[in-house]
Amino acid sequence: MTATANAIPTQAAEATSVGDVVLDVQDLSVAFPTEEGLVKAVSNLSYQARLGRTLAIVGESGSGKSVSSMAVLGLHNPKRTQITGSIKLDGIELVGAPQSTFQKIRSTKAAMVFQDPQSALHPFHKIGKQIAEAYLAHNKVSKAVAEKRAIEMLDLVGIPNPKRRALQFPHEFSGGMRQRAMIALGLVNNPKLLIADEPTTALDVTVQAQILDLVNDLQKEFGSAVILITHDLAVVAETADDIVVMYAGRGVEKGDAKEVLAQPSHPYTYGLLQSLPSHSEDLTELKAIQGSPPSLLNLPPGCSFHPRCDFKSQVPGDACWTELPEWRPTPGLANRQIRCHLTDPVGTLQEDEGVR
């Protein structure tokens, strides 16, 4: 772990109004040393989350989506993780920060809703107490006040009869109710940033929409920033404002969520969208991206995606094999950035879609 810039929390630049940057991640790399070598889970990732907006981080399993956001809350074991770059949460530098700093910002400035509420809630503690505990940790109030606050939060996330429910254990809740309780726990200290790590993956399809609506409604009410980690592009289309597409630990395309889904400009994003089943076409086979994600122990040289890319032949020379593409604005599109060597990515991908 290297402490770049300043390890001392600075009080500057607190985000207060909609559109302000709450989380500024710059050049973040997260690696885990193992016996087989260094697992580079996240490499040189940069993104920003703004108040009142939802940022979707999209990618396959193992693309570094969760790893990068767990670094924000300092949930990696510092002894077994190498983190470099910069994570500025509400003006506080978190890379290299001591545990005491993380303890202060957890739940108050940034909170996380985890994928599987069944395993993320403690089976031995009552729901109300689990929520009250987070409130008590940061507010000098009595237990009774904290428990009342927990009941209010349960009410807020739409749990009927919250007073009685607060006294129940997680196993007495349904899956959707548990995730609502997780969200109540996440919001109890009114954080500026809520990270939802695949919040709907473990839930029934019918419940998924309810949970997403809830997150959206609460975001409007609280005006907080939301980072939505998902591999579900339908979820992104419905809820996200901004998007970062990740591949093998790196961002490959970022921009406005709806625009990116409507017109992808990176071959990987394009492949992801092509692989979605469509209602209009009569398909016998899904158009999957060929191959599988690379090992994070041993990333391919050049562009990590080149072994699976259908368009590498259209790049002159051997740039795809030898040269890591840097971020650049997509030619012809405003407000869009990609890491790709294609000279005219938009045209190339449109041409391909026409052929198919």
Partner 1 sequence: MLTYILRRVALALSVILATLVSTFLLFFAGPSDPAQAMCPETRCNPARLEQITKSLGLDKPLSQQFLEYFKGLFVGRDFTYAGDTVHCGAPCLGYSFSTRQSVNTELFTRFPNTVVLALMAAVVFVTVGVTLGIIAAIRRGTPADRGIIGSSQTFGAIPYYVLALLVALYPVVLWNILPQYAPISAGVGPYFLGMLAPALILGLYTSTSYTRYTRNSMLETLSMDYIRTARSKGIPERTVLVKHGFRAAMSPIVTILGLDIAALLTGTLITEQIFGVDGIGRRTLAAFRAQDLPVIMGSVLIGAAVVVIMNLVVDIAYSFIDPRVRLQ
State which of residues 43, 44, 107, 265 lies at the interface with partner 1 (CB under 8 A).
107
Instruction: Compute, in degrees rounded to 10, the torsion defined by CA atoms 78, 226, 156, 203.
Output: -80
> Quick check: 17 and 158 in contact, CB under 8 A?
no
Residue 262, token pair as written in the block: 């409507």
The structure tokens 């940790």 sit at 137
State which of residues 137, 209, 319, 324 lies at the interface with partner 1 (CB under 8 A).
137
**Residue 73 found at the interface with partner 1 (CB under 8 A):** yes
Q: Is 83 helix (H, G, I), strand (E, B) or coil?
A: strand
The structure tokens 């703004």 sit at 50
State which of residues 120, 177, 215, 342 lies at the interface with partner 1 (CB under 8 A).
120
Give how far Cα 347 sits from Cα of 83, 149, 244, 264, Å. Answer: 38, 55, 21, 11
Residue 90, token pair as written in the block: 């509400």
Q: Is 137 or 145 the residue whose CB approaches partner 1 more closely?
A: 137
Residue 311, token pair as written in the block: 């368009």
**Residue 123 found at the interface with partner 1 (CB under 8 A):** yes
Scanning 6-14, 41-49, 100-108, 322-330 for contacts with partner 1 by CB under 8 A, the matching segment is 100-108
Closest approach of Cβ 145 to partner 1, in Å? 17
Q: Is 4 or 168 the residue whose CB approaches partner 1 more closely?
A: 168
Scanning 27-35, 57-65, 120-128, 342-350 for contacts with partner 1 by CB under 8 A, the matching segment is 120-128
Q: Is 125 or 287 the residue whose CB approaches partner 1 more closely?
A: 125
Closest approach of Cβ 309 to partner 1, in Å? 35
Q: Is 205 helix (H, G, I), strand (E, B) or coil?
A: helix
> Quick check: 119 and 158 in contact, CB under 8 A?
no
Binding to partner 1 (CB under 8 A): which residues in 158-217? 169, 171, 182, 185, 189
**Residue 116 found at the interface with partner 1 (CB under 8 A):** yes
Overall size of the chain counted in residues: 356
Closest approach of Cβ 190 to partner 1, in Å? 13
d(CA 331, CA 340): 11
**Residue 103 found at the interface with partner 1 (CB under 8 A):** yes
Whole-angstrom Cα Rg for the chain: 21
Residues 37, 43, 44, 50, CA torsion sign: negative
**Residue 32 found at the interface with partner 1 (CB under 8 A):** no
Q: Is 99 or 313 the residue whose CB approaches partner 1 more closely?
A: 99
Q: Is 123 or 316 the residue whose CB approaches partner 1 more closely?
A: 123
Scanning 73-81, 219-227, 266-274, 313-321 for contacts with partner 1 by CB under 8 A, the matching segment is 73-81
Phi/psi at 93 (nearest 5 deg)? -75, 125
Residue 321 burial (C-beta neighbours within 10 Å; 0-12, 13-18, 19+): middle
Q: What is the largest CA-CA distance in the chain?
A: 69
The number of residues that bind partner 1 (CB under 8 A) is: 31
State which of residues 4, 20, 32, 75 lies at the interface with partner 1 (CB under 8 A).
75
Closest approach of Cβ 44 to partner 1, in Å? 25
| Contacts with partner 1, residue ranges (CB under 8 A) | 73, 75, 79, 99, 102-108, 111-112, 114, 116, 119-125, 133-134, 137-138, 169, 171, 182, 185, 189
